[in-house]
Each structure stands twice: as C-alpha cells, then as structure tokens.
Amino acid sequence: MSRQADDAGQLPSPRRRVGWRFSLRGLLGLVVVVTMVGSHFYTSWKLRQAMVQLKQLRSEVGYLNETDRSKLVVAVVPTDEPLTWKIRVRTPALQSYQIAYSTLWPAGSPEPTWYSGQPLPGGESLVTLRLFSDPRDNRWKIITLVRNQGNLWRMATVLSDRQAALFRGSHDTIRGGIQAETVVAAGRSLRVIEEKWFAGDGGLMLFGQEAPDDDIDGLFAELQPLPGLPFEVQENRR
C-alpha cells in the first residue's frame, strides 16, 4: 500500500521541449533553396540590364523589327557626322522603291524639286545622304549612298554657290520626316528626311505649310514607289 501511495503522490515530471534540430541534409537543402532564389533574382536583373542595352544598340544601328514583308519599313540611324543623314530601309518584296533627294523647296510648290532618285535593291539597305565639298573639284554636292549586302550604289548632284555658302554656315533649322521606326503599306511614298534651313527672320513661321511663300533650302529625301519590274530583275537584264 505504501508503495502505491508513494507512486500516487509523485507528480509527473515536465517534458523537456525539443528545440529545432538541423540535420546536415536539411542544412544543405536550405542552402540550395537560398542559392536558387538569389540566382533567380540576379539573373532577372541581368536580363533587364541586357534588354536595356539591346534596345540602345538597336536604336544606334537603326535596327528594323520583323514585320510583314509586304510592307515598307524605315528607321533613322543616328550619326555624329556633320551634314550627314542615315536611314535603314527594308523594301517590300514585290514593290520597287527609289530614294529621291533635293536641297530646294520652291515657293508655291507642294513638294521639293527632286533632283534625281537612286533605285533601292530588294531587302534591307543602309542609305546615307551627305552634303559635302568634293576635294576633287572643290564643289559642294549632295551625294546618296546605298549599301546592300556588300554592294554600293552612289549618285551625286552639284549644288549652287548660294546653297554651298548657306550650308557652310550656321543657321536655324527645323527637322521633319520620320523620328522612329515607321511602317507603311507598299505603293505609298514616305518623306523620310525634311530638314529646313532658314537664313532670314520669320522663316520659322513657315513650318508646317504645304506650299511655302519663299524658297526653302535644306535636305529633303523621300522614298517613292517605282513602276515596272523589281530592281533585281532590271539589274539582271542589263
């Protein structure tokens, strides 16, 4: 009886709390999870940085996005060269185009006086227009260069002495034409460059007029559709 009484009088001893225990396997698993999460965030950050740099590089070279090949696609190529303009063009598959150029918009005319036009080959081309003094004869000219798949086509026109003096100096200008990548339907013309020089007072008021009141000097370039066979077929028949 006394033994039973002693057992009954004893209180159950409190259980000890078991703390967190990490096994080597659990610790390694935690390290792997933390590493994977950190790697994911780092990779995402690097990807965003790469996309920003890619966008900047595409802008610098005038990259043309993939579009319907039946459309005319044009983008401006930035350049630090003085009196130089560059555009990248992808012509439609079944429509020939030329790059027409001018330095004079006559008074009362709805468009510039186009001096000439250089046909563009199919596919993607880099077009450069430049105002410069030709060292061979010391005459100022406007030249058009078309580069496509290693081939080069050029066309130049001599400028008047009055315009040569104007382009050598510094004057107010107004820039028009395209400012970003532009896509238009085949068969339509597109004014890609429209930079006007103003030497006199009040010239800036002419901006936006279809037919100027006075002659306007500048650099004008337009992509114009051509009738007939595509450029490559015409070249092969020569």
Instruction: Quickly state the pLDDT bin for 212 (edges 50, 70, 90).
Output: low
Query: 12 in a domain, yes or no?
Result: no
| 27-63 b/e (C-beta count within 10 Å ≥ 16 → b) | eeeeeeeeeeeeeeeeeeeeeeeeeeeeeeeeeeebe
* 225 & 170 share domain: yes
* Cα distance between residue 100 and residue 118, in whole Å: 7
Burial of 109 (0-12, 13-18, 19+ CB in 10 A): middle
Total number of domains constituting the chain: 2
Q: 154 and 40 in one domain?
A: no
Q: Is residue 79 part of a domain?
A: yes
**Same domain flag for 52 and 78:** no
- The pLDDT score that the predictor gives to residue 205 is 45
Is position 192 within any domain?
yes
Model confidence pTM above 0.75: no
pLDDT of residue 155: 95
**Do residue 122 and residue 186 come from a single domain?**
yes
Identify whether residues 147 and 31 lie together within a single domain: no
Q: Are residues 40 and 92 in the same domain?
A: no
pLDDT tens track for 98-151: 999 999 999 889 999 999 999 999 889 999 999 999 999 999 999 999 999 889
Do 199 and 82 fall within a single domain?
yes
Please, which residues bridge with residue 105 across strands?
A: 216
Per the structure, the complete domain to which residue 219 belongs is given by 71-236
Q: Are 49 and 131 in the same domain?
A: no
- The answer to whether residues 141 and 207 belong to one domain is yes
Task: Say yes or no to pLDDT of 9 above 60.
Answer: no
Looking at the structure, tell me whether residues 51 and 123 fall in a common domain: no
Is residue 115 within 8 A of residue 101, CB to CB? The reply is yes
Is residue 40 in some structural domain?
A: yes
User: Is residue 6 in a domain?
Assistant: no
Residues 6+ apart with CB under 8 A from 157: 101, 115, 116, 141, 142
> Which residues have CB under 8 Å from 132's CB, separation 6+?
83, 140, 141, 143
Question: Does residue 7 lie in a domain region?
Answer: no
**Model pLDDT for residues 45-63, shown as the tens digit of each residue:** 777 776 666 566 656 666 7
Residue 102 forms part of a structural domain: yes
34 & 100 share domain: no
Structural tokens at position 238? 């020569």
Rounded CA separation 194/100 (Å): 12
Instruction: Report the amino acid identity of residue 44.
Output: S
* DSSP designation for 8: H
Domain boundary among 37, 61, 85: 61
Query: Nearest 10 degrees: CA dihedral of 186, 183, 212, 145?
Result: -80
Give the residue from 33, 61, 89 where a domain finishes. 61
Residue 88 sits in the same domain as residue 55: no
Q: Structure tokens of 235?
A: 């070249």
Instruction: Tell me whether residue 75 is in a domain.
Output: yes
